[in-house]
Structure 1
Amino acid sequence: MPFDEPSQIPRPPRRVAPDDRPVADRLADIRARIDKAATIARRAPAAVTLIAVSKTHPAAAIEPLLTAGQRDFGENRVAEAQEKWPALRERFPDTRLHLIGQLQSNKARDAVALADAIHAVDRSSLVTALSRAMEQEDRRPDCFLQVNIGDEPQKGGCALPDLPALLAEARGADLPVAGLMCLPPAGLEAAPYFALLAKIARDHGLVGLSMGMSDDYETAVTLGATHVRVGSALFGARA
């Protein structure tokens, strides 16, 4: 089906301000903001999962968030996650790990063995690899199909016209498709892209929406995000 392209509204540059508060205070503030945004949108705050994006951060930086009660974390690379998380999960076994970066097909089995959710399923070869890996590992992590919502050649994600075929293939392969994921274009207002992803999800009977990061997660929540991926607002800016 055709999709309407969002108007490209410039967004003023926004950076997460330095925050020297204890990480528990930052976490509480972000959770409060999520709850407020959900309430404004007449949604249940509990319907939104906060994913703390811990990529590039060592275990020592992650432990205070775990101690403060955060349980969902996001990593970009399978190898980095394999180094950090087995030991952390021994101490915090109820942690849920989300792989949010582009995934190579040859890493599918490792990803399935490790992750509770995979947020960047974007091509046929990966669907096939994940289906095989789930049979081999007897694990079925949630899968989000990544949509290249801004039609940007430098970004991963399925092109909008190709999404119906990819979704049909994923369902035919019996992947547990939880919803859709996107990264809106940098420098543009994110709301139209979030609204478009929500519409596409509804059209295809999908509930999950993995969208929104440190500078726009509140907007994403008001537009239906079920998972927001927040890194720098929790951990501080990466070098």
Structure 2
Amino acid sequence: MGRAYRNAMKKAIAASAPQPEGSAAERLREIQAVAAAEARAGGHPAPKLVAISKTFEADAIRPLIHAGQRLFGENRVQEAAAKWPELIAEWPDIELHLVGQLQSNKAADAVRLFGAIHSVDRSSLVQALARAIDSEGRVPQLFVQVNIGDELQKGGVAISGLPALLAECADSGLRIGGLMAVPPAERDPAPYFALLAKLAARHGLAGLSMGMSHDYDIAVRLGATHIRVGSALFGGRF
């Protein structure tokens, strides 16, 4: 799949995405209320809401901060490093999570900047993170990304490779807090969320980073501890 095609698809999805109504505070409260209700229905604690702010500038982010949101997610180390220091200087209690793919040569930068990394998915990254954590003296929360739908175009360790990768993480001194996954588009996400929860329980992991703007309610009912919501808060992006 070529880059031009992917970019065209992103623009088409963004153009068709409904723009959220109401103020930032109203949108935030609505999502929190839905998540809390679904968590109660599923018998789970309310999840943490990671506001996905990738591609949005500070002026678009500040209203959510003023509304009380303090947990934000970015896809790229470089973008986060350029955008967030000024905001964090104003609000030191902000926490950043990296939710996109991480290049091994950016591991040290990621460890310095992010409180959690949701995309540990291969041996080379495990080793790079272990070195970075040792040298930086900071220990972000780590999630292993699972390619839950066995899709060639997506990152994540194959389900069959998960036990070996978790063992390597343990051998390298990395403390893994949970699993992350993105189900295949245009399919019922519930079976994939349920499978991720089953895999996490099998390996004694409490964290489940799953669910986005279009399916976070289903993810929460099935036990998500972190939901990654962008367009429902910010609107469509290019």
Q: Which runs of 5+ in 2 are unaligned?
A: 1-12
After TM superposition, list the pairs within 5 Å mapping 1:197-208 onto structure 2: 197-208=196-207
Matched, 1:36 2:31: no
Q: What residue in structure 2 maps to residue 235 of structure 1? A: 234
State how far apart, in whole Å, the 2-side matches of 1:65 and 1:19 are: 13
Quote the Cα distance in structure 2 between the aligned partners of 1:174 and 1:192: 32
Runs of 4+ in structure 1 off by over 6 angstroms are none
1:86 equivalent in alignment to 2:85: yes
SS at match of 1:40: helix
CA contact (8 A) 1:142 1:178 kept: yes
Q: Residue in 2 aligned with 1:9?
A: none
Q: Which has the higher helix share?
A: 2
- What residue is the counterpart of 1:121 in the other structure? 120
Paired residue for 1:95?
Answer: 94
- 1:42 is aligned with what amino acid? G
1-structure distance, mates of 2:105, 2:20 = 39
In 2, the alpha carbon distance for the partners of 1:229 and 1:71 equals: 13
Please tell me whether residue 196 in structure 1 is matched to residue 195 in structure 2: yes
Q: What's the CA shift for 1:49?
A: 0.4
Q: Deviations over 1:29-50 (max 9, x none)?
A: 00000011011112222xx100
**Map of 1:126-205 to 2, 5 A cutoff?**
126-205=125-204
Distance 1:218 1:140 in 2: 30
Q: Secondary structure at the match of 1:150?
A: coil
For normalisation by structure 2, the TM-score amounts to 0.92
Q: CA deviation at 1:16?
A: 4.9
How far off is 1:171 after superposition?
A: 1.3
- Displacement of 1:18: 2.5
With structure 1 as the length reference, what TM-score do the two structures score? 0.92
Match of 2:53 in 1: 54
For 2:106 and 2:45, how far apart are their aligned partners in 1?
36
Question: What's the RMSD between the two structures over aligned residues?
Answer: 1.1
Distance, in Å, in 2 between the alignment partners of 1:111 and 1:225 is 24
Match of 1:5 in 2: none
Pairwise CA distance, 1:173: 1.1
